Amino acid sequence: MKVFFLTEGTRTSAASRIRVYKYLDRLRTSGALQWRAASFTSEGYCRRIVGGRPAGAGRRLLEKLYQSFSLARLVLGCLDCRAVFIQRILLPVWLQRLVAALSRSLVYDFDDAVYLGGRRQEKRFASQAGLASRVLAVSRAAAAEVVSRGADPEKVVVLPSPLDCGSYRVRAGLDPGRFTVGWIGSPATTPYLEAVWEQLAGFADSRPEVRFLFIGARPFAAGGLSGCTRFEPWTPEAERELLCRMDVGLMPLEDDDWCRGKGGYKLIQYMAAGVATLCSPVGANLEVVQDGSTGMFVRGPGDWGPCLEILYSDPQLCDSLGRAGRLRALELYDYERTTPVFLRVLQEAAGKTPA
C-alpha cells in the first residue's frame, strides 16, 4: 500500500514528528506501507517557529515559494499513491476537490483547533473533513468538533498524540531536598504559564526548597525567584533528561475554544516520566488525566497555589499520582498501542482489509 503524506512541518515540528514521522519510522521495516512525504513548511522555517524567531519579508516570500512546490508534489503524489494523508494543513477548497478527484482516498489528521480563524478557515475545515475517507482527531473533544461541522461520525477516529514510553526516564535524578515544579511547551504557549506565574511565585516565596524548571518556554522575568527558576530550550535531550527531574508538571489553559481543541500532550509526557500532573480541566485534559488518580484538576482560577501545597505537603500522594500516570501512559498513549490504529485507518481508507 503506497501513501503520500503532506505534513505541516518537518521532524523539527512537534506535531508532524509525533503524529506522522515516528509512525513512518516504526512501519518502515514492516512491509505494510510504502510512502512518500513532503513538508508544507521548510526545515529552516520550522526551526524559526520552534525557536520563536520572527521571519523578515524576504524569508516569508521564499517560504511561499517552498509551499507552492510542496503543493505541486502533493498533486503529483495523488497520481501514483493509493491514499493521501494530510496532517493539519487546510488546503483551498478547489485544491481539496482536485486532490479528492485524483486520489483514491484522503485521510485528514488534526491535533489543534485548526477549524478556528474565521469563515474561510471554517469552510476549508468542513470541506476537507467532508471529502476525507477518514478523519483522525486528537481527542474526543476534537472529534465532537469535526462532527458538529458536518463530518460523518463513522469516518472519525480518535487518535491521541502518542510517545515512546520506553525512552522516558522515570523520576530519575530527583533531589530529595528540592521540590521541582515544571512545565514543557513552546514559546508560543508560554503565555498560559505566565498567566499563573504570580500564584506559582506566591507558593514558592516562603519555601526556599522549591525550584522551577521550564523547558521550551520563552524566558520571562521571574523577579525575586530568578535564582531558583531555570529556563531550558527544548531539545530531544532536554526532554529526555529533565522531565524526570520534576515532582509536578503543569498544564494551565484558558477555558476557550482554542484551548478546548488542544490534545493534552504535555500531560502525557509528564505521565510517561512518572510525574504528577496539575492541569486546567479543559478539553482533552479531561480525557488524559484521571482526577485524584493520575493528577489533579485545578478548578478555580486561584487554586494553583493551594493544589501545589497539597502535593508539596504529601510526597506519598505526589509519588502515587506519578506512578499511576506512568501506567496510564503505557496503557493508552504508547506507540505500541497506537501504531496498529494508525495503520488500520490507512488500510481502511485505501480500501484494503486491515491486518
DSSP H helices in 42-181: 43-51, 57-80, 93-102, 119-131, 140-148
pLDDT at 154: 94
CA angle 125, 131, 135 (to 5 degrees): 70
Q: Residue-wise pLDDT tens for the chain (355 aa)? A: 889 999 999 999 999 999 999 999 999 888 788 899 999 999 998 888 877 787 788 888 999 999 999 999 999 999 988 899 999 999 999 999 999 999 879 999 999 999 998 999 999 999 999 999 999 999 999 999 999 999 999 999 999 999 999 999 898 777 788 999 999 999 989 999 999 999 999 999 989 999 999 999 999 999 989 999 999 998 888 888 899 999 999 999 999 999 999 999 999 999 999 999 999 999 999 999 999 999 999 998 899 999 999 999 999 999 999 999 999 999 999 999 999 999 999 998 877 655 5
For residue 291, the cross-strand partners are 295
CA proximity to 324, closest of 297, 298, 292: 292
pLDDT at 240: 85
Q: Which residues of 194-227 are buried (b: 16+ CB within 10 A; e: fewer)?
A: eebbebbbebbeeeeebbbbbbbbbeeebeebee
- Which amino acid, 133? S
Residue/partner pairs of 335-342 with CB below 8 Å, 24 or more apart = 335/22, 335/23, 335/26, 335/162, 335/163, 335/164, 337/162, 338/159, 338/160, 338/162, 339/23, 339/26, 339/27, 339/162, 341/157, 341/159, 342/23, 342/159
pLDDT at 352: 61
Q: Do 99 and 91 touch, CB atoms closer than 8 A?
A: yes
Q: Which CATH superfamily is domain 165-332 in?
A: Glycogen Phosphorylase B; (3.40.50.2000)
What letter would DSSP give residue 165? G
State the Cα–Cα distance between residues 142 and 161, nearest whole angstrom.
Answer: 12
Question: In the structure grid, which three cell numbers stand for residue 330, read together?
Answer: 503505557
Domain pair 2-162+335-349 / 165-332, same fold: yes
DSSP H helices in 229-280: 236-242, 257-260, 265-272
Which residue reads 469563515 in cell numbers?
A: 119
State the Cα–Cα distance between residues 296 and 250, nearest whole angstrom.
Answer: 10
Write the DSSP assignment of 223-235 as a string of letters.
Answer: GGGGGGEEEE---
User: SS3 of 40, please?
Assistant: coil
pLDDT at 197: 96
- Which amino acid, 54? P
pLDDT at 238: 87
Residue ranges covered by each domain of the chain: 2-162+335-349, 165-332
Go through the chain and tell me how many residues it has: 355
CATH code, residues 2-162+335-349: 3.40.50.2000
Question: In the structure grid, which three cell numbers stand for residue 106, read together?
Answer: 484522503
Phi/psi of residue 56, nearest 5 degrees: -75, 175
Write the DSSP assignment of 275-306 as a string of letters.
Answer: -EEEE---TTHHHH--BTTTEEE--STT-HHH
pLDDT at 350: 78
